[in-house]
Every structure is written in C-alpha cells, then in structure tokens.
A = this chain, B = another copy of it.
C-alpha cells in the first residue's frame, strides 16, 4: 500500500486496484543511509527509485573535476539515470548520492520490464513521467542561459522552497552553475534588499 506512489503514477493514467497490486508486488522498499553513492559514473544504472523520504543529488563531474548538480531528488520525485536506455548498454555518465537518510521504492530493470509486460498502461505512465522530466530540463536550460545569477537563485527558491534548509549552500551554487562565493554575494545583496 504505497499511497503516495499510487497517486504519483495515477496523475495522468488511471489504474485499477488490481493493477496497483501488480506494481506493489514488483517495486521494492529500500533504506539507504546518508552520504551513500548509489550510482557512480561509468557504472550501469540498475535501478529506478521513487523517493518516499529523504534527499539525493544527481551530478556530473566535468573535465576539470568540478561537480555540476543536475537534479535534487526529494519526496515524491523519481531518481535514476532516467535518460539511460535499457537497450543500448551504455554506462551512465552521472553520480547519484544520498544527502540524508532516505527511503525509496525501487525497480530493477527486470521488474520494470515485467510491470510493462503485465500492465502495458504503465508504459504510458512512465512515458509521461519522462516527458515531464524533459519539460523541466528544458526550462532549466532556458533559465541557465537567459537569466543572471540573482534571477536563477530566485527562480530556484520558488521551485524548491524546502531545499535551502536541507542542503549546504555550495550544492545550490553547483546546481545553478555559479561559484559558491558568488552565490554568497548574491544572497548578501538580496538580504539588504
């Protein structure tokens, strides 16, 4: 009985109780402690996880060794290398790490395939999920080139009001693509408005 998950997947496709039971049988609860690397670059991502509780970050490491955060995953988000394609066997380019003790509901690739085979409607729900993910990535790309640091930070606050209380400032800087020092200056300027 994973009510939050059921609501999450039922937003655009409706499922019967029996169909949701198939889902519950195939997705596995898992607890992962703070500061655990769940996926590292070069590995194959073998999970897709719904965040029940906690907070993770997904990031690239660039050529100069700087980390760039692609996504924060908090309650009711999905994490995994969702852009990863089970059909071409490429390793992931990203890292995923827990930033708090976290509870997930997890698929491995086989059980996700089995879910799609047993209830094809889930294929549609996941397609829509990926579309929404794409829409938000496009918006972020747009913001990242068209807005200055201050506006990006304000937009971030609007979109993720809870994150600043939960993670260190420099992770937010990394997400915004600015230096931690400059974020500090932006905040100082905003404070004395």
Contacts and interface: CB of A to CB of B under 8 A. Distances in A.
Interface residues of A, number: 38
A12 interface: yes
The secondary-structure label for the interface of chain A is helix
Interface string A149-181: 000000000000000000000000000010000
Copies of this subunit: 2
Nearest to A60: B142
A107 B145 CA distance: 31
A138 B70 contact: yes
A134 B133 contact: yes
A102 to B, nearest CB: 22
Interface stretch (A23-31, A32-40, A80-88, A182-190): A80-88
Contacts of A63: 146
